[in-house]
Amino acid sequence: MSNTMNKREKRYVTVDVRFEPDGHLRPLAILFSPEHIYQIDAIKDVSRRAAEVGGVGDRYLCVISGQEKKLWFEKGRWFVEAKV
């Protein structure tokens, strides 16, 4: 399999977020478009990490429809690692 098939890019997304009383952010849904809204069922982990697509931020390991997905918060913006 060639590397071009596995290539990913940083894709900035809109995220519905709740601010908790303790100051933590709780992402609730990822909005790619009006037709593509993904509810976040659970957050398994939040940790500061380097993204494979570049940059360093808070990585939210989310559960969406039973699958683990990574959501990143970097410099006030949300992004996902999307397939090219």
Q: For the chain, what is the domain count? A: 1
State pTM to two decimals. 0.88
List per-residue pLDDT tens for the chain, 84 residues long.
445 567 999 999 999 999 999 999 999 999 988 899 999 999 999 999 999 999 999 999 999 999 999 999 999 999 999 988
DSSP string across the chain: --GGGG-EEEEE-EEEEEE-TTS-EEEEEEEEETTEEEE--EEEEEEEEE-TTS-EEEEEEEEETTEEEEEEEETTEEEEEEE-
Show the domain range for 49. Answer: 3-83
